[in-house]
Amino acid sequence: MRRLLFEISYAGTRYHGYQVQQNGITVAEAVQDAVERVFPRREAITGCSRTDAGVHARQFTFHMDTEAAIPEKAAVIALNNLLPDDISVKSCREVAPDFHARYNVCWKRYCYEIWNHPVKNPFLQGLAMHHKAPLDAALMDRCAREFVGTHDFALFRTTGGKDVGTVRTIYEAKVERQGEKVIFSVCGDGFLYHMVRLMTGTLLLTALGRLAPGDITAMLETGTGERGITAPAAGLYLDRVSYQPWPEISLTGGDNHGPG
């Protein structure tokens, strides 16, 4: 029996999230359909995380046990030939039998992308949130950095998730402008249900003059305060999944995210 670790990416626009559900097509279902034709059994796959309907992933991992002898590179090619164009298999490799795609994760990075322009961009529909009013990315960045540290993030979650506890550690949080895009990125050891989308919605309050430096710190310390909207799913990307402790030697260059 072999345990294989796959790395994939996908645009989640037309999917009802990653996890298999009764009410619509999901990423996992599409992947398993392809797996069944290649291996050829409908092997169970275990993902590194769950993403909601409409959420995207630039890097997502899952492991799968199989007795098939197909080489890793051949599996990548075969699966990509069968998968829809909005899902791509980037790599496959054999890992230790006790490796777990979810439980071995050390940290993740999410990015939330905002198209900040009075006019909508038709090429970003379903791929970014449209915010017409000007955003002060520098001010948002100053506020975002207050998320860093180990805190109780109970205020930054919605009901409906299966979270165990509400204390999480955020290693990095920042906001930067790239032309007409404003991008919020956050790295942490785990995230609560809708946590990143609520963090984004809260940072957007700066544009209304309702969030100032120091406010997020107070919210985390007291568990009370005005949080923003749950930002739409379309702008959210699971950007990185790491199996190495924070900080890695190379966060901006190289590829050091595999199991050690």
| Positions marked active-site | 52
- Name the DSSP letter for residue 130: E
Three-state DSSP class for 155?
helix
Cα–Cα distance measured from residue 88 to residue 190, given in angstroms and rounded to the nearest whole number: 25
Of the candidates 169, 191, 155, the residue with the CA atom closest to the CA atom of residue 48: 191
Three-state DSSP class for 46?
strand
Lookup: tokens for 33: 């359909």
Three-state DSSP class for 103?
coil
59, amino acid identity: Q
| 139 Cβ contact partners less than 8 Å away, ≥ 6 residues apart | 206, 213
**Position of tokens 């198209």?**
115
Bridge partners, residue 63, by sequence: 5, 46
Q: CB atoms < 10 A from the CB of 146, how many?
A: 18
Contacts 24+ apart (CB under 8 A), 148-151: 148/172, 148/173, 151/220
CA 144 to the chain's CA centroid: 17
The phi and psi torsions of 97 (rounded to 5 degrees) equal: -60, -25
